[in-house]
Amino acid sequence: MKVYNQRIKFSIILGVLFLSIVCVIWYNNNISSRLNSAEKRITYLDDQIIKGSTLPIKIENAFSKYNSKKFELDFFSNPDKDKEDLKDKIKTLAKNNRIKVRDIVIKETNYFKEIKSVPRIDRIPFIRENIELSVVGNFLDIGLFLERMIKDSENLNLNKCNFDLDQNSDRQVQASIEFYTYYMEKI
């Protein structure tokens, strides 16, 4: 009976020892996973702090870019006169490229209408102008005209260009060209 008592005691001690080792390993793994989680969180917060520290520089760069672009948008300082000057410039450039201008329409579009309804934006001081041209001429001459227009006028952007064959002449095409520009609204 004494032998059984010692085996039982040995088995109990061995079981308690094994259970203790399992508990220590489980506790160590739990602490390791918490440490890894805390390290990942610290790394994430460090990255956010670094990104946040560059934010004022980005904001300052954006404002300086905004201000420089704002001065470039003073395209039509006197809208009526400048629109006529633009029409004359287009006609002269078309004449130099041997194409005929049928129609020039410069019209203001209320491009920011839906944005103005947003409560956080009080007023947007920009106006978008569409310049629509209808020209007839040789396809290559119209291409050269477009290149010159884009090169000579920094504030004009090509929006669309459609070509059709001219019904009156088989060597010419009709082009519907649309440019757009923005300028500052005079307050």
Distance CA 57, CA 13 (A): 67
pLDDT, residue 21, reads 92
Which residues constitute the domain of residue 24? 1-72
Same domain? 88 vs 173: yes
Same domain? 105 vs 50: no
Residue ending a domain, choose from 36, 57, 72:
72
Strand pairing partners for 106?
131
**What are the 10-residue block averages of pLDDT along the chain, 187 residues in total?**
77 91 90 90 90 85 80 63 82 88 82 58 70 88 87 81 81 87 69
pLDDT, residue 18, reads 92
Same domain? 59 vs 108: no
Query: How far is residue 50 CA from its own chain's centroid?
Result: 23
pLDDT, residue 118, reads 56
Same domain? 34 vs 124: no
Q: What is the DSSP letter of 167?
A: S
Contacting residues for 43 by C-beta, under 8 A, at least 6 apart: none
Residue ending a domain, choose from 45, 72, 99:
72
pLDDT, residue 15, reads 92
Same domain? 67 vs 85: no
Q: Name the burial class of residue 177, with classes exposed (0-12), middle (13-18) and buried (19+) by CB atoms within 10 angstroms of its CB.
A: buried
pLDDT, residue 71, reads 65
Same domain? 15 vs 98: no
pLDDT, residue 62, reads 87
Distance CA 134, CA 84 (A): 17
Same domain? 90 vs 167: yes
pLDDT, residue 169, reads 75
Residue 139: how many other CB atoms lie within 10 Å: 12
Whether this prediction's pTM lies above 0.95 is answered by no
Same domain? 28 vs 85: no
